[in-house]
Structures are given as structure tokens and as C-alpha cells.
Amino acid sequence: MARMAAPAPTTPTTPTVTRHIACNLCEAICGLEVDVQGERIIAIRGDEQDPLSKGHICPKAVALKDLHEDPDRLRRPVKRVGTGPDATWQEITWDEAFDLVVDGLARVRQQHGSNAVAVYQGNPNVHNYGNLTHSPRFFGLLRTRHRYSATSVDQLPHHVVARWLYGHQLLIPIPDVDRTSFFLVMGANPLASNGSLMTAPDMRGRLKALKARGGRLVVIDPRRTETAAAADQHHFIRPGTDATLLLAMIQVLFAEDLVRPGRLAAFIDDVDAVRSAIARFTPEAAATVTGIAADTIRGLARDLAAAEGGVVYGRMGLSTQPHGVLCQWAIQVLNILTGQLDREGGALLTRPAMDLVAGGQMGRGDFGRWTSRVRRVPEFGGELPVATLAEDILTPSQGGQDQPIRALVTSAGNPVLSTPNGAQLDRALATLDFMVSIDFYLNETTRHAHVILPPTCAVEHDHYDLVFHHLAVRNTARYSPALLPKPPGALHDWEIYNALARRYKARFGTPAKGPLPQRLLRRAAEGLMNRLRPDQLLALGLRLGPYRLSLRRLRRDHPHGLDLGPLRPSLPGRLRTPGKRIALMPPQAGSLLAGQADALLTPPAPGLRLIGRREVRNNNSWMHNTPRLMSGKPRCTLQMHPADAAERGVADGQLVRVASRVGAVEVPVQITDAVAPGVVCLPHGFGHGRPGVRLGVATQHAGASVNDLTDDQLLDSGSGNAALNGVPVTVERVSTPTQSHAPIEAAA
């Protein structure tokens, strides 16, 4: 297959025009000002007039140009001929590709039932609004219970707790960073990640402003991160013990009579149930578990209680660990009992211009309606935890209706590198009868596909941040027209979904379920979805939204985005719970606490624990193919404390073998006291040395995949989210490196 050249050359007379779009690479959704000459991107700068980002950008924004021009990016559908290292890829027409896909999926469904087809949706789905508006129809037609997404290697505990306490999985309170006076950040590194479940471009500037107005930033993290280094206080914590710390902070509130929910008291229940459930969690008991002194824990609780606008915020480090749900639950309880929820400077709900919460019961996050095949882990919001995917492919049928997964659709995801025990999933994908990937890279995951359907890239389609406006520290609305025209013969993600849905429906139809009026309504809605573009659906959503916006006017009058003001108190009105009340102790939280209390009060066993790392020039696994982001020192290094290195006779830069229950990798060590003793730290998203990937730059910086070490059997007890952090590992010096890029399998 021929590689596509960069976009058509321009002549010196082609005029340069300046356009404005939002960057969709991460949750910060920064405004960009882009100079374009013909179809060539000339320069990318921050858009000073964006009401949210005010000119801020990070180095990744400039890499949008590289992504657009990347000769490795697929521009035409391809089908795989042959398997393994000898596989070749042939360009085919869209028609042939769609036929192959629908045939492949239909064959598996007819032979093994609809649950034998699985779906995995990766992170960029939420960063590309056409996927959000148009993928549900096609995936719904597949009628499978085996749906997975990056949510369960990320923020599932946040959604579960939001559903329990506030009645909808998207009602996640956002730290009011611009007005807070006490910001307790746990397991998040927004100075590298640019913020998550907290859309807040230019965190560095916002944290500086916090300090300038006399506020304080405290960070709890097993690593002295960029954010920790900028904090007033940083405390190392033993990985996976944050729930114990948070429960002890709640205990202090009760013990010292600091419970002051203020106006929230009118609509919260179960305060006494919380008090008795956490009575055992004294600061002294928590100190032996977490490694943080009892007086420090008391101080944190007092500071939060006393703050005129204070907030506890916990992200990845708290959700991807064995007590993810308990951590997120305890954070909400702390913010509520101190009256910091729904208050300026505390944690507030947003009021987005297109409000996904307003859709009644739809999408609120129902749970437990079915379970995974083998481990029987319950679904949430129609999805199963992706840590169970490989075993549900590999385990043979147990008889009756039970069928292993035989086909997979992946969309904007790279689960071989991004989900726990990725090497096992890698092996599982090779056994599938059929796989299709909607993606523009031939990477560690998509190389297993029979067909790859490549959509347009970010600068070739329009965009509106349906999700991140829900999570932003300020209410704004910004529509980005496509920066460049869609190349001839290319399709957007949403067009691919529409084509697949049309053909799949022609094959299987929609079962005539339910009474006639409902069926007619469903048909009308489907017809509408089939005919309307994402921007037309957006226009409808904005018009029906709380500000009754017109998309036409938003585009014409506010090309840099429309400022809708700071977050405002909205409770109890915005609650979606019965009677608009908050039950602090939902039954699930009660039984989790009771079941986990002993474990939470037991200090972790000795031995090294592995945690992850993000750096500003990475973006999960998929921005490693741009030279400007990969220059400089190798980043896929194992950070280790000097004492741990000395104990193992390891010198800086030496190759070490890191091993866990599931596998081993070899990586250079970086000795630093930025990690706590007993903690080692490896970034995720590397491991590009697997055969058959077509990522010319990334493979030269292949690194090893941390997820060849993380364990698919380690889950958050409350949600099934992968516990990617705090994995027990051993580290030893390597004298003769293993001559293979493939992950090293664990000894049986």
C-alpha cells in the first residue's frame, strides 16, 4: 500500500488565512489560532480571546499539524491479507470495506449470537463529537452486552458515585479552582495532564492565582509531581491507601465537631450512618496504613472545614486503584459535610449549553443489569469493565447460552497498550474470527483487525465539546468549524457509523419490540439520526438547552467561544435523585465499607508498588509518532528511589527487569527521590516495538508497556475499574537484555 504524501503543495501566491478552532486532544479544550495556507497548516498559537483558555496551549497543540501530515496515518480503508508478522495490508474501497465488516460481524452473530460480538470505544471518542452523536445507533444495532470503553481504565468510580449521590453519572462536581482558597489535590497531576474531570486550561496560571490570593494547594501523591512541586505542601502516600486517609478525615470532622453542611443540611440524609460506619478510622489507624502522620491528617480535615471555599479533588491516582469508588465517595462526603459542595470556591456543578443530563432517565448510569461472562463483574451504564475482555474472549463456552466473544469492533482505542495485562489481550485479539477498527493508525491493537476504517483527523472535521463543557471550571460554549476541508474520498467517523448502521440494519432490521406508538417514535428518532449531521443535532441541543442558544449565532458572533459565566450553586434543583435529596450512604457504599474495612485498616504488605506517569508531551498511546513530541531524553524510564536502587545494586540508566504476576518488561532505571521509597513509576502508552505496527517515529522510541505489568485481576472493588496503580512488582538488574520487543510472559 502506498503511503500518502503530505497535503498538496501550495504556491507562493496562495493566501494565508487565520482561523480559530479548539484543540480536541485533551480535556483542557484550549482555543487555537491557526494560520492556514491552502490546505497546509503554517502556524498554531493559543487563541488569546478564548474565554476559558485565554491563549494557553501546550506543545501537543502544535503536533496537530504533524498528525495531519503524518505519512503513517491511514487515509483509505485497508484489509489485512495474511496473519502475524507476514501480514500485508491492501487498500480497498469504502464499499468493499463496509461489506466485509457487515459480513464479518453478521457471520459471527448468526453462528454464535449477538453477544459474541464486542465493542471497545477508546478515549478520543469523547473528544470527537460526531462519535458521540452517531456511534450509539450502530452499536445499539449490534445488540450486544459486551461493550467496553476506556472509562473502566480511567474514571468509572467517578460516574458510579455521581449516579449514587446525585442521580446521574455526569453530575460530577467540579473544583472551583478560580475562587477556592484551599485545594486538596489527590492522585492528579494537572500540570502535566492539563486537568481531568476538571477542564481548566492553564492550570499553572490558575494555581499561581490561587497562591496570589492567599489560597493553599496541598498535594497527596506517591510521587513529587510537577503539581506537587508547585504546592504549599506535598505528602507522599503509600499507593492505594487514599480511601483510608479520606475516611480518617471524615472521622476527624465528627470527632472534632466540624460537621457543617450549612444549607446542604436541608436535602442530605444519612449523616449518622456515615458517622458510625467510619468510627474505626482514627487518624492514628490511618497513619500506620498511609504513611501520613495522624496530626497531618487532622490538619487536612480542619483546613478543609475552615476554608472559605475549599475543595478535595481526586483523579486517576484515586480512581484506578483497589478502592476507587470508596475514594470518590469519601471525597464527596467530605465536601458535603464541610459545606463545600455547591458553594463558590468549593465544588460546583456546571450548566452546559447543551445539557446531556437533561435527557430524563437516558444515560443516567443504570447498573448491575448483567455481568461479564467469566468473572461475573456487573455492568455500569451498559458497559462491562474492559479488564474482563480478554478472559471473555479466551475462556471456552461453559455450555448452554454461554458463548465466548468471537468478534470485536474497536473505535478510537488502543486497548493492547492501554488496558491491564495488555499482553494477554494482544494474544486474545489474535484468536478472533473477525475484528474491525475505526482508527487512522495501524498500531498495537488495530494490527489485529481484518479491516481498518480510517476517519478524517481532528483538523478535517468540525467540533463541539459535548462532554468537556460539562466538566469545565467555567461555563462556556465554543463551536469549531472544520479547519481544513475533508479530503476527497475521506469519511468522518460519524459518516462511517451511518454507513455501517444502514447496512447492518438492512441485514438484521430492528426487532419490533414494544407497543406501536413506542416503535413509531423509535423509528422517527432513528430516521432523524440517520439524516441529521452532528452540527444539526448540536443546533437542536443548544436550542433546547438552558441558554436557548442558536448555533448559527454562536458561530457568527462568538468564533472564539461564548462566556456563560462562572459556576453557580444549583442544588438541590439540579439533582436527579428521587425527591431531589442526597443519600450520603447508599446501600452499595455501606456494604463496600463494611466489606473492606479490615483491608482498609491493614498496612500494605512490604514490597515495591508500581504507579503510572503522564508527561506533558505524551497523550496516552497515540501521539508518539510526531518527532517534535519525541525529541530529547527517552521518557519511558522506571523512576526509583535511591534507597531502593542501592538495595538492588542498580545504577542510574541501567537496564532493569520489572516483573509482576502477569509479565515482565525491561526498561532503563532513573534514580530519583521524587518517588517515595517503595514506589516505582513507569509512564503508560509505550510499547511500540510489537511487530506489524506502522508508526515510523513511535517505533524508534518504542519503550515498554506498563500494561504488560498491570494485572487484569486487580479491580476497584466498587466499580470494576482497573486498579492500574499500586501493582506489586519486583525489580532486578539485567545483565543480558532479552533480544525481543515482545512482552516477556510471566513464568507459569
Ligand X SMILES: Nc1nc2c(c(=O)[nH]1)N[C@H]1C(S)=C(S)[C@@H](COP(=O)(O)OP(=O)(O)OC[C@H]3O[C@@H](n4cnc5c(=O)[nH]c(N)nc54)[C@H](O)[C@@H]3O)O[C@H]1N2
Give the nearer residue to ligand SF4 in terms of CB position, either 22 or 231.
22
* Cα dist from 551 to 31, 130, 477, 541, 564, whole Å: 18, 16, 10, 9, 15
Tell me, residue by residue from 32 to 71, as one string, x for binding to ligand SF4 by CB under 6 A and - for no binding. -------------------------xx-xx----------
Q: Residue 300's closest CA among 349, 238, 237? A: 237
Among positions 243-302, residues that touch ligand X (CB under 6 A) are none
Task: Measure the CA–CA gap between 659 and 678, rounded to whole angstroms.
Answer: 15
Nearer to ligand X, 98 or 622 (CB): 622
What is the SS3 assignment for 535? helix
Binding ligand X by CB under 6 A: which of 612, 689, 692, 703?
612
* Cα distances (Å, whole numbers) of residue 144 to 111, 119, 409, 532: 14, 8, 11, 25
31 binds ligand X (CB under 6 A): no
Q: Does 483 bind ligand SF4 (CB under 6 A)?
A: no
Adjacency order of strands within the sheet including 147-149: 88-91, 78-81, 451-453, 434-438, 407-411, 117-121, 147-149
Q: Is 188 in the site for ligand SF4 (CB under 6 A)?
A: no
Asked whether position 440 contacts ligand X by CB under 6 A, the answer is yes
Q: Which stretch binds ligand X (CB under 6 A): 302-310, 586-594, 607-615, 633-641?
A: 607-615
Which of 25, 67, 102, 246 forms a contact with ligand SF4 (CB under 6 A)?
25
Distance of CA 287 to the CA centre of its chain: 31
Of 389, 408, 482, 436, the C-alpha closest to 152 is 389
> Does the footprint of Mo ion cover residue 154 (CB under 5 A)?
yes
Give the nearest distance from C-beta 27 to ligand SF4 in angstroms. 7
Shortest Å distance, C-beta 471 to ligand SF4: 13
Helix axes 283-290, 242-255, angle to 10 degrees: 160
Among 62, 108, 117, 150, binds ligand X (CB under 6 A): 150
* Calpha distance 76→317 (Å, rounded): 39
Binding at 475: pick from ligand SF4, ligand X, Mo ion, none (beta carbon under 5-8 Å per type): none
Number of residues that bind ligand X (CB under 6 A): 63
Of the residues 20, 21, 26, 70, which one makes contact with ligand SF4 according to CB under 6 A? 26
- How many residues touch Mo ion under the rule CB under 5 A: the total is 1
Separation in Å, CA 562 to CA 105, 349, 406, 481, 559 = 43, 19, 47, 15, 8
Asked if 720 is part of the footprint of ligand X (rule: CB under 6 A), the reply reads: no
Q: CA dihedral defined by 628, 631, 636, 641, rounded to 10 degrees?
A: -120
| Contacting ligand X within 400-419 (CB under 6 A) | 411-415, 418
- Alpha carbon separation from 541 to 52, 314, 480, 553 (Å, rounded): 21, 31, 16, 14
| Contact stretch for ligand X (CB under 6 A) within 201-209, 401-409, 591-599, 721-729 | 721-729
Is 27 a binding residue for Mo ion by CB under 5 A? The answer is no
Q: Does 194 bind ligand X (CB under 6 A)?
A: yes
Sign for the pseudo-dihedral over CA of 375, 380, 383, 386: negative
Q: Quote the CA–CA distance of 712 and 393 in Å, as a whole number.
A: 14
Enumerate residues 252-291 that contact ligand SF4 by CB under 6 A: none
H/E/C letters for each residue in 306-349? HCCCEEEEECHHHHCCCCHHHHHHHHHHHHHHCCCECCCCCEEC
Here the cell at position 633 is 531524553
Minimum distance of ligand SF4 from residue 419's CB (angstroms): 22
30 binds, among ligand SF4, ligand X, Mo ion, none (CB under 5 to 8 A by kind): ligand SF4
In the bound complex, what is the minimum distance in angstroms from residue 418's beta carbon to ligand X? 3
Burial of 229 (0-12, 13-18, 19+ CB in 10 A): exposed
* Footprint on this chain of ligand X (rule: CB under 6 A): 26-27, 122-124, 128, 150, 153-154, 186-190, 192-194, 196, 220-223, 225, 237, 239-240, 242, 315-318, 321, 411-415, 418, 438-441, 443, 455, 493, 611-612, 614-616, 618-622, 684-685, 706-707, 710, 724-726
* Footprint on this chain of ligand SF4 (rule: CB under 6 A): 23, 25-26, 28-30, 57-58, 60-61, 194, 201
* Footprint on this chain of Mo ion (rule: CB under 5 A): 154
